[in-house]
Structure 1
Amino acid sequence: MNLKKLFSGIFTSGAQSLTEGSIPLLLTRFAIPYMVANLLQALYGAADMIIVGQFTDAAGLSAVSIGSQFIFMINSIVIGLSMGGTIMIGRFFGAGEEHEIEDTIGTMLSLFVILSVVITALLLVMIDPIVDLLGTPADAFEQTRGYIFINAAGIATMFAYNALAAIFRGFGDSTSPLIFVAVACIANVVGDLVLVGPLGWGAPGAALATVCAQGLSAVLAVIYARRADYRFDFRLKSLRIKKQKLINLLRIGLPMAVQFSLTGISFIFIMATVSKMGGVAASAAIGITSKLNGFTMLPPMSFSAAIAAMVAQNMGAGKPKRARSTMYSGLSISLCFGVFTFIGLFFFPHSVIRIFTPDPALIAATALYLKSFSSDCILVCFVFCLNGFFNGCGKTAFTMANNIFSAFAVRVPATWILSGIEGASLFSVGFAAPLASLQTIAFSLWYLRSGRWKKGR
């Protein structure tokens, strides 16, 4: 069966211009497969928590919670740089400067090869200090170490998948990444069921399943990309760095990479703070919330990425008004999802948490945290859509500064202060995230009204 035809009529397929036609329709057709792809990615991330939670104890869940938060921080670097590639490719594609695309792709892939080797070596050498620094409870230390070690050894697969997805999306193709992440999701769940279940490898088994699944997805994506028309032959001789393309890629992508990774670090600080306050149960509760958050944030994250790609093409084509209208359309749609997820997490938290663990104590602790945290489901719709707009305009330095300030001047201090209040609970700590989002929105609205996003190319 031709999977591309299966999705046609609903999802965007192949290279496509986003500079003409109905904005809501194009945006939705681009965002839906992106959202489904992220949903599947969140599913195979949550599969680790769910399957480990069913076959092990709180220590295993804590290991996956802490380890996955750290790996997410590393993945954030990859995502940020790859989004820079998407924006550059989208700009060139929208401007009709397709001769620049090959050099952009070659530079991005070459950079990713170098970074994957360097990061893998550093993580493997520093594995024990890293696990200590994360504030890992003693009961979960060995499983956390194994989880991070295996993910670090296979980090090249993470770079490969994100690079290929960035190329596809820069051309307006959001269907291909969906297909390949679906393959990874199925492979990861099967791997988890075998390695964590019958073989009893716990958290390290879940990590191995994830690495193998990502590797399979990346290989299939390369095979497809070499046969399709994506302006690059994916041969070793074509992997070369062009100085100006590298400068532009780092100028656009590095701020997002720094922003995402430092935001990840801020959540690691929160995890460590909460672990000291409530031990293994508290860290597991934060971990479960993190996985739930991966699902609730899917619509705004997906529309943010769709907005960035569509805005990049329209700014490249000299259509700033259409670019701004794209942001408003994406915000309106994502808010519908935000209100729905808030209602579910605020009023029915226990039903959702039981998917991850049958432990009554963990369910109660996580539900307490969600009661205050859930309002962020609405606020992040504004945060992500505004960020997507500014990123598409190439103003990634502003989004970086705004989100880093939010993380370290609001979220981390608020967590520390709220957890230190006499009689503090996970309910009070949960207000830190919404407070940070409010600050981010305020600064973003000021920047939008200033008109500075229109300046420069």
Structure 2
Amino acid sequence: MQKNSLTEGNIGLSLIKFTLPILFALLLQTAYGMIDLLVVGNFGIVADVSGVSTGSQLMLLLTSICTGLAMGTTISIGRAVGLGQTQDIPPVIRNTIVIFTVFAIICMAGILLFIDNIIIWLNTPIDAITQTKNYIFVCTLGIPMIFAFNIMGSIFRGLGDSKTPLIAVGIACICNITLDLILIAGFDMGATGAAIATVSAQTISVIICIIMIRAKQMLQFTSDKMELYDLEQIKEIIRLGLPIALQSGLVSVSFLCITVIVNQFGLIFSASVGLVEKLTGIILLVPIAFMNSLAVFVSQNNADNQPERSKKGLMIALISSFIFGIIMFYISFFHGQLLIRFFNDDATLISSAILYLKAYSFDILLVPIVFCLSGYYSGCEKTLFVMMQGLFGAIAIRIPVTYMFSLVEPVSLFKIGLAIPISSIVQICIFGLYYMYTNRAQLKAIKYLTH
């Protein structure tokens, strides 16, 4: 099995080289949603835009939970690589497949049984109910492929290989663009066509990843009595991944709640929030990439007894992503209309979306700190703490503040959007307090041992 260790060499170079393919893969993956909105916005109607925007929030929720749970796989594999115990990797992969097979079946059954209730709960605009339902239905049928893609990414990243997923996503993205143009622009299928194109692209990506795994012979099960699953291994993966999954899921729920709150104000508000969420989803990919890469970097280096190398990696990630945040804050706050016009040229929609983007732009400065610290502590296997701070920011701050601001007359997307950076400020404070607490505890332990 090929080993791509992050425990040696120049720290900055190693981290950046590992992060860049993750970033490009995330960019291409996000391009699925961007392209859907871009094509729907230009060849469909406003109801299609709202349907894709609202429906994609639900799918983002499931994907976030899946990605968070898969972090347990990434950390477990990263630890094995750091310790040089590569024989422990195939069981991790096998049990990961078992976990996500069960999870996919549960999600599909739940959504298909209660899809009408979900549409109501999402407070979907009446004019976009059909489009939203069609989008969710098609994407639900594709959940196994959506989950499989995220599993593949977690496996490769844990091994220190961030290039293979990039290649697979790149090919799939080309397919997604082609299918979007054929189904939406050519056959006028609107939101349904966007969903079919996205699921088909994910399926292609999974097939490519499987072919690459077989080509590299990474799954070499040498035991003649190979067990289908190992309950202890499953518990370990869930122990590490479940807190991140819950955090990611509830953070997505908080943004879904924002969608629900905003949808009551009509189609323009709904479409505006959907467009800005897609746009900021691209902007925030840099800190997200560092979060994912730091989890693996820290996991491998801590396992190799190099905690100081892990801390230096954190500082490099913080500085790099924060500089990018400053640049994007300026563009989003002062020239946001140029970014929004790329998706839609409706004057009413643009003027509404700009207000939400201006408020959201403050979060672009803060999120690099939150994400990098989340990745660092996830790599340190402090996933329970990462979950708790994330839940507090989402449930105790973001949702109630959004609701309160939505009651302030006159209703403004700028005021509603301010709830997002406010929650990030609270999370940064929690991280700061935790860092001081753990450092003080370590100093006390050192003093005790030296006396």
CA distance in 1, matches of 2:439, 2:3: 30
1:169-318 aligned at under 5 Å gives the runs 169-232=157-220, 240-276=228-264, 278-318=265-305
SS of aligned partner of 1:451? helix
CA distance in 2, matches of 1:452, 1:155: 42
Offset of residue 15 of structure 1: 3.1
Q: Is 2:401 the partner of 1:417?
A: no
Find the counterpart in structure 1 of residue 50 from structure 2.
Answer: 62
CA distance in 2, matches of 1:290, 1:254: 25
Offset of residue 453 of structure 1: 12
Q: 1:163 aligns with which of 151, 160, 168?
A: 151
Offset of residue 241 of structure 1: 1.7
Offset of residue 229 of structure 1: 4.2
Q: 2:105 aligns with which of 117, 120, 131?
A: 117
Q: 2:318 aligns with which of 331, 338, 350?
A: 331
* Change beyond 3 A, Cα 1:411–1:222: same
Q: 1:319 aligns with which of 294, 303, 306?
A: 306
Q: 1:49 aligns with which of 27, 31, 37?
A: 37
Find the counterpart in structure 2 of residue 151 from structure 1.
Answer: 139
Asked if structure 2 preserves the Cα contact closer than 8 Å seen for 1:14 and 1:173, the reply is: no
Q: 2:9 aligns with which of 18, 21, 33?
A: 21
Report which stretch shifted further, 292-301 or 421-430: 421-430
CA distance in 2, matches of 1:207, 1:176: 25
CA distance in 1, matches of 2:222, 2:314: 33
Letter of the 1:220 counterpart: I
Find the counterpart in structure 2 of residue 89 from structure 1.
Answer: 77
CA distance in 2, matches of 1:234, 1:67: 44
Offset of residue 445 of structure 1: 1.4
Offset of residue 231 of structure 1: 4.2
Offset of residue 451 of structure 1: 2.1
Q: TM-score, normalised by structure 1?
A: 0.94
Letter of the 2:257 counterpart: F
Asked if structure 2 preserves the Cα contact closer than 8 Å seen for 1:447 and 1:453, the reply is: no
Find the counterpart in structure 1 of residue 64 from structure 2.
Answer: 76
Q: 2:420 aligns with which of 423, 427, 433?
A: 433
Asked if structure 2 preserves the Cα contact closer than 8 Å seen for 1:31 and 1:303, the reply is: yes
Task: Count how many residue pairs are aligned between Structure 1 and Structure 2.
Answer: 441
Asked if structure 1 preserves the Cα contact closer than 8 Å seen for 2:292 and 2:375, the reply is: yes
Letter of the 2:24 counterpart: V
Asked if structure 1 preserves the Cα contact closer than 8 Å seen for 2:3 and 2:81, the reply is: no
* Change beyond 3 A, Cα 1:14–1:414: farther
Letter of the 1:336 counterpart: I
Asked if structure 2 preserves the Cα contact closer than 8 Å seen for 1:345 and 1:374, the reply is: yes
CA distance in 1, matches of 2:93, 2:20: 25
Find the counterpart in structure 1 of residue 448 from structure 2.
Answer: none
Find the counterpart in structure 2 of residue 8 from structure 1.
Answer: none
Find the counterpart in structure 2 of residue 373 from structure 1.
Answer: 360
Q: Is 2:388 the partner of 1:401?
A: yes
CA distance in 2, matches of 1:333, 1:453: 28
| Stretches of 4+ aligned residues off by more than 6 angstroms | 452-455
Asked if structure 2 preserves the Cα contact closer than 8 Å seen for 1:105 and 1:232, the reply is: no
- Identical aligned residues as a percent: 39
Offset of residue 99 of structure 1: 1.7
CA distance in 2, matches of 1:115, 1:454: 38
CA distance in 2, matches of 1:98, 1:294: 35
CA distance in 2, matches of 1:343, 1:107: 45
Q: 1:131 aligns with which of 119, 124, 134?
A: 119
The RMSD of aligned alpha carbons is: 1.8
Letter of the 1:383 counterpart: V
Q: Give the gaps of 5 or more residues in structure 2.
A: 443-451
CA distance in 1, matches of 2:341, 2:126: 26
Letter of the 1:390 counterpart: Y
* 1:15-64 Cα distance to aligned partner (Å, 9 max, x none): 31111111111110000110010011111111111111111121111101
Q: TM-score, normalised by structure 2?
A: 0.95
Letter of the 2:423 counterpart: A
Find the counterpart in structure 2 of residue 9 from structure 1.
Answer: none
Offset of residue 422 of structure 1: 1.8
Letter of the 2:383 counterpart: T
CA distance in 2, matches of 1:354, 1:376: 21
Report which stretch shifted further, 211-220 or 221-230: 221-230
Asked if structure 1 preserves the Cα contact closer than 8 Å seen for 2:213 and 2:219, the reply is: no
Q: Give the gaps of 5 or more residues in structure 1.
A: 1-12
Q: Is 2:376 the partner of 1:386?
A: no
Offset of residue 268 of structure 1: 1.1
